[in-house]
Structure 1
């Protein structure tokens, strides 16, 4: 059976991370399940020119955020991991406080309760104390808070290279076979 990855897309800036993750996961033979919030779709349209249909075509299966009866809402549906890319502070707060109020936050809650990998690519700065406390709560529950910060020491030549390297690091942290982040080899 192919590994399954749940990808959540929220309204924070950085929709390109979700689209690149979906493409790279497909190339690695990973089955992808996408949940995009209305604000996430709006952002993907603004940043990438994608509508909901175009965005959903990038995944093996797409789920409506209101469909809390979808397969990914149950721990019995085995997944390798979940990533929220990008993750708004609203979604972070909902996950940190166990508010499974839509399919995205319910799937994240299921990921945590089943002790699977959950990675949140938080976007929005500066952080206030509520943001930091929510990140701490998610970390204490076993989640990984991963702001998509570029590794300039790798000397990227383009934004595409920055995004691609971040995606490879995410895939490696999710323990998906075939991820190839560049390793630091020293000076």
Structure 2
């Protein structure tokens, strides 16, 4: 049986392979899930994504399944609880940024702005199909980063935003020989927003 060819970054660890084969680059249109992914990308800043993946289940427990309504109500006692949780990345600034991000998400919703529609509006509602070498950031990730920062989000620099766009399928950066490239391209095709 022929071995599946996948993006080289996913070959080093079984957890990375599973993430690549099942999640990375799949267009995500659920607002809550997009927000969760953006928050996790923020926790990854300065670290390897595998670190976040290994802690993702504990992150979900600690942050109430990334329900923005619940996280937005976190107080100082919750921050202290999270700082004692060895199952997550214990960086106070990132924890506080996630709580603030939940409040911003809720404010957007209260103003009638759907987070998914807002995010996908930057790419016209369909994934960008890239080819060639993977950039660390793009002109579009710079633009989205600025917009997120204007709203008050933290840990949303252009590199983090580009990684989020890749993970959420807003941009298809699977390599040309990767077995997931066409699958993900087809998942985003013809989507009506």
Q: Which has the higher strand share?
A: 1
TM-score by length of 2: 0.30
Larger CA Rg, structure 1 vs 2: 2
Return the structure number with greater relative CO, CA threshold 8 A, min gap 6. Answer: 2
